[in-house]
Structure 1
């Protein structure tokens, strides 16, 4: 199936460089999920449009200074004077890192295909991200949400999704791509195939999540119209549920008991990681559960764990909660 790079403001297909991008995306699509393909596609579309404006017609004409100029443009908060280039909006440090990652993978492909002798982007460093504290929900609030009784078949499915998110720490794309054969109730495991970065992993399946899934399977059997569809979660038409539908339904289910809350799949993933770390202090185990390739991605949760440690200290240490005494005159 051809992969289109068109967007409402860019037309990279006009560039003679487009064919190599198209070939790369076809190859990349063989071992990666749709969301990762979409991100690479958009990043490369924008880059190609920039090169087209520079009238760069083949890869041999591209120099490191051109790439640096592009990265500088995307990092700048000042609008470009060129009207066409001005459509390439500034990127946040996180988005710029994603852009650079897409370019690195693409240029590696060009080197592997002997289109370029070396990867021109290897010398560039990704911008440092500001240290951020991820959000999580306290266990009592989550339990209050999860222990709601479903009122209809849709909510039976929604509760199963919520339980599985919190039990396993799945990413949104991993849940929507999950198939029936990926669940093993006898060994109490969930197998994630081709997760982020193409990694497979196995995650424990908790008893509460199992119970919720079994209830959903009874409904699923009545919704399923096509036996070739093996995805675990379906919409009411019997088709695989979309990521947008999952997010909307999770939020709606949570608001029944907590009207002001904005619950979403990634917040459930963060909460699962935080609560496991608080209970075990085993960061390597949390790394495996989340499927992080680099321990530094998991270390952000240690900040939350330290906040929990401070709360425990304040409530338990005799010197932490003693009233201030007046100094003798």
Structure 2
């Protein structure tokens, strides 16, 4: 729990003197034990997704520190104070709106628990922000081929990296869903293999495996001796430079570092990141006649407008048109 909370006065309601001491923001502690307990429950009970929890923790911490520095009490935080905080926030429009969502959700939880009579953030508006094209770097088809072919697959690490990148590209899966897979989540159904994914919001999703991914995953599992390791991570870390797989799953930061290293070695766009292959795969699919509706289903997007953000076909069209301008 300590990684969710921020330094301040020792405060965990009902905690004993044994074990690690937990801390809450001073402004929450000063509001009393009932408020402090409800505040902790917001993060541990009200938010189940760990990524959302981490983002909201940071947002709420920064806001409450700002309030504390100005001598505000938790129960007296007003909509004007929240608006003033957002006005001076140095972040981008999406970041500010995320912070507002976190603050609004936290206060709504307090109202529901009877701690506050009303939500001071309910009517506060964030900056307008409309996105038609996503900012995620996309690799061209040629770059994708160069990246995959440049990976040394004479050892299990190369086989793992190739399989991981191909899985994201051909299944449009989020990095978190791919890294969360167990060996048993690559499974046969009929004559083909499928992937079992838990996507954003805990959405259960199954997608058939592209024949190239099947080839790459089979080679990785065979070399790593993982076929019978059911219930263990599919994509694993290694022991230092020994190229020996551990029983621990890769983390997103480790996958990001691997992708940066592979992109640099292959001489392709080094801005590539964990989400690049989701966007690149969707763009490739649509260029080859796929529909947005089906792309939405494969990617497990809630809204087709989200899928549209990953469609970069217009990038090439725009460049072709610009080249029509001649002197």
Compute the TM-score of the two structures, normalised by the length of structure 1: 0.77
Deviation of residue 152 (structure 1)? 1.8
Contact 2:183–2:226 under 8 Å retained in 1 = no
Give 1:77's aligned residue. Answer: none
Distance 1:181 1:42, change over 3 A: same
CA distance in 2, matches of 1:275, 1:222: 31
CA distance in 1, matches of 2:227, 2:247: 5
Contact 2:183–2:227 under 8 Å retained in 1 = no
1:178 equivalenced with 2:190 (yes/no): no
Listed as ranges, the matches of 1:1-329 within 5 Å are: 1-6=1-6, 13-15=25-27, 16=29, 18-29=36-47, 31-32=48-49, 34-59=50-75, 61-74=76-89, 90-129=90-129, 131=131, 132-134=133-135, 135-148=137-150, 149-186=152-189, 188-193=193-198, 195-221=199-225, 230-236=232-238, 237-258=246-267, 261-280=270-289, 282-302=291-311, 304-308=312-316
Compute the TM-score of the two structures, normalised by the length of structure 2: 0.77
RMSD: 3.3
CA distance in 2, matches of 1:259, 1:140: 9
Question: Per-residue CA shift, 1:51-78, capped at 9, x if unaligned?
Answer: 222333343x22211111111121xxxx
Deviation of residue 158 (structure 1)? 0.7
Secondary structure of residue in 1 paired with 2:45: helix
Contact 2:282–2:310 under 8 Å retained in 1 = yes
Greater fraction of residues in strand = 2
CA distance in 1, matches of 2:113, 2:318: 54
Secondary structure of residue in 2 paired with 1:238: strand
Distance 1:279 1:108, change over 3 A: farther
CA distance in 1, matches of 2:63, 2:308: 32
Secondary structure of residue in 2 paired with 1:299: helix
CA distance in 2, matches of 1:183, 1:312: 41
